[in-house]
Amino acid sequence: MKKLNKHIFFVLVFLSVYIVNCSEDANQPENPPQLVGSIDLSSYGRVEDVAVKGNYAYIAAKDGGLIVVDISDPENPTFKKKFTTPNPLWRIFISGNYLYGACSSGGLVIFDISDINSIR
């Protein structure tokens, strides 16, 4: 398993999420950014936003609500769970053990993410 340093970027490209590992000093040509892994989320609609806490990436998908991806092995991110939201989810933000999501209709959803096995 590839160890990631603290400079990780999640690149959202329409229907997929790409994990890119960047070096401590991106100006050094011997340490260019590297694509580490990716996951296809095309069955959930367009990817809108991502927030990360611990070994999980929480992804707002226009047609799929909130998607949870296990990134403990960044080379092989795996789908963990999906939560349907009342309206398309556009933006998400994590504060403490809560994930806040803004829906396209102006609504707000809040998830307790303190236990990955019982998100509510």
The answer to whether the predicted template modeling score (pTM) of the entire model surpasses 0.75 is yes
CB contact at 8 A, 46 and 66: no
What 3-state DSSP class applies to 117? helix
CB 116 within 8 A of CB 80: yes
Which domains are assigned to the chain? 8-24+33-118 (2.40.128.630)
2-21 pLDDT, tens per residue?
Answer: 444 555 556 556 666 767 77
> Which candidate, 15, 14, 26, 17, places its Cα nearest to that of 5?
26
pLDDT tens string 24-55 = 665 666 767 777 788 888 888 888 888 989 99
